[in-house]
Amino acid sequence: MIKVDVRRKAFGEQEILRDIRFEMAIGETIAILGPSGIGKSTLLRLIAGIDADFDGEIIRPDRIAMVFQEPVLLPWRSVLQNLTLVHPQLGKDAALSALERIGIADKARLFPGQLSLGQQRRLALARAFAGQPELLVMDEPYVSLDPGTAEEMLELTEALIADTRPAVILVTHSQGEADRLARRILRLSGRPARLVDDAAPDIGSASREGAP
């Protein structure tokens, strides 16, 4: 069980978040929606443990992975090394298998700067899932992609989630992405931001998550 209880988060005198509370189970996917600048990315950083400066408590599993808005790869390391340096438990064969799973095994010896943005985002996904996370935090992972590439990334994400079954928290501006991937949708609104809605998407979305 993952429990989020953020009573207050501020930067100096500016209060960003207030009274954000929800729980979720391993295997469940939640989408967080809200306008730009509302505090969605700030909330994700609290949940992932990157920022511990807040009032409240977050209970999370030990194995956590995060996919950022930008791929955040090591530009001086090869595609293969971007996996094995973060996950040293992976042997070369397992790392190549992970790259094959996301369709870029033929790019293993290239550097991130030699990849397209879509390929970089595929590598970021492979790196996140290679550690078999219990909690995956995704901050607008499809931003700036053209519609065709975004669709490919959505399909890949769905398949990886189905295989690995982590809890997933997804921040997005897209209602369609939220409806497609999530069983629950949380919305942030106001200054400071609070949760204003907690709605379940259609039955099709729930069935994709393996719901009874």
Q: Give the pLDDT band (50/70/90) at residue 197.
A: low
How many CB atoms lie under 10 A from the CB of residue 82?
25
How many CB atoms lie under 10 A from the CB of residue 79?
26
Indicate whether 209 pLDDT > 50: no
Mean residue pLDDT of the chain comes to: 87
Distances in Å between the alpha carbon of 48 and those of 66, 136, 148, 151? Answer: 7, 9, 30, 26
**Chain segment 118-130, per-residue pLDDT in tens:** 899 999 999 999 8
Indicate whether 208 pLDDT > 90: no
How many CB atoms lie under 10 A from the CB of residue 108?
17
Contact 195, 20 (CB under 8 A): yes
What is the C-alpha separation between 24 and 42, in angstroms, rounded?
Answer: 19
What is the C-alpha separation between 189 and 45, in angstroms, rounded?
Answer: 18
Indicate whether 89 pLDDT > 80: yes
Among the listed residues 93, 80, 91, 165, the one whose alpha carbon sits nearest the alpha carbon of residue 129: 165
In this structure, are strands 29-33 and 167-171 parallel, antiparallel, or unpaired?
A: parallel
Predicted local confidence at residue 212, as pLDDT? 38
Rounded (5°) CA angle 25-31-36: 145
Amino acid of residue 145: L
Predicted local confidence at residue 135, as pLDDT? 95
Of the listed ranges 44-53, 139-148, 159-168, the one predicted with least confidence:
139-148
pTM assigned to the model: 0.83
Rounded (5°) CA angle 106-111-114: 80
Among the listed residues 93, 91, 168, 92, the one whose alpha carbon sits nearest the alpha carbon of residue 129: 168
